[in-house]
Amino acid sequence: MMPVRFALLLGALILIAGLSLSMLLTDYQLRLVNLAVISAIAVIGLNFALGFAGLISLGHAAFVGTGAYGVALLTTLLGWSSWQALPAAIAGTAVLAVLIGVPLLRLKGHYLALATLGFNVSFTIVAANWIELTGGTNGISRIPELQIGRHALADERSYLWFALLVLAASAVAAALIHGSRDGRAMIAVRDDETASAMTGIDVARVKLAAFVLSSVYAAVAGGLFACHMRFISPEDFGYAHSITYLPMLVVGGEGSIVGAILGAVLVTFLPEWLRFLGAAYLAFFGLFVLG
């Protein structure tokens, strides 16, 4: 019962804190919070791969991109509604994660990191050069906004309320998985693959499950990003963004769902708080992460 109670309490706290805070912020600050919430969903996903299963993935932004481009293409080219496009894009990303995860997860350590980084670079190259489909570096614009009934989530505050609901649901699901048998198996594989295999755990299946779960959360974040910004381009999902997700997770603490959320918020707002430092911000940020 404890994982269930913790998950529900975590979800409630996210909603209460977020909704209370949203009433005090300006539109610009609300936009930053929206971006932080979307990043938090992606980082919770990365936590499955890196924090739970110990898989070093440097291609997380590519899965965010597949979710975003999936929503963008299905809505602008095929005329689907956002509610139809979101689950289709998430399902497509999960299938892609299985297809590339089966061969890639045979690798370990820095070899896996380099392979996932290569996937991210390949994704941005394809997105930038397949102009007929993706618009190339000009991107895709006029992505439809989300609607609930007849109410469009067009302003930052209303979109934040919806994004917080998704974040709360994502955190609750992650907490329940963490406390489940599969979650414990992921942690066991992270700690010692050989010992886990000797106890009967299917190591390959557990690693693939963590990888696919990570991609699903990334696709959710990507779909929300596309509907929020209503414009996407390849540079939104470059490998630099994958690198940024790592300190978001590390700052909050690998394996911690609450830490993933706090880390995403902190790293999103840190440039604004340290704007007065100018170029020295990068040095300070590096020291902060190392500390």
Tens digit of pLDDT for each residue in 237-291?
999 999 999 989 988 788 888 888 888 988 888 877 777 666 666 666 666 666 5
Cα distances from 54 to residues 113, 141, 263, in angstroms, run 11, 37, 18
Cα separation of 101 and 119, whole Å?
11
pLDDT-derived band at 1 (thresholds 50, 70, 90) equals: very low
Taking the whole predicted model, whether its pTM rises above 0.95 is answered as no
Q: What is the pLDDT of residues 111-165, one digit of tens each?
A: 999 999 999 999 999 999 999 999 999 999 999 999 888 888 888 888 988 998 8
CA atoms of 133 and 128, how far apart (whole Å): 10
Tell me the CA distances in angstroms from 176 to 4, 55, 58, 260, one per residue in order: 6, 20, 26, 16
> What does the buried/exposed string (b/e) look like for 60-71 if buried means 16 or more CB atoms within 10 Å of the residue's CB?
bbbbbbbbbbbb
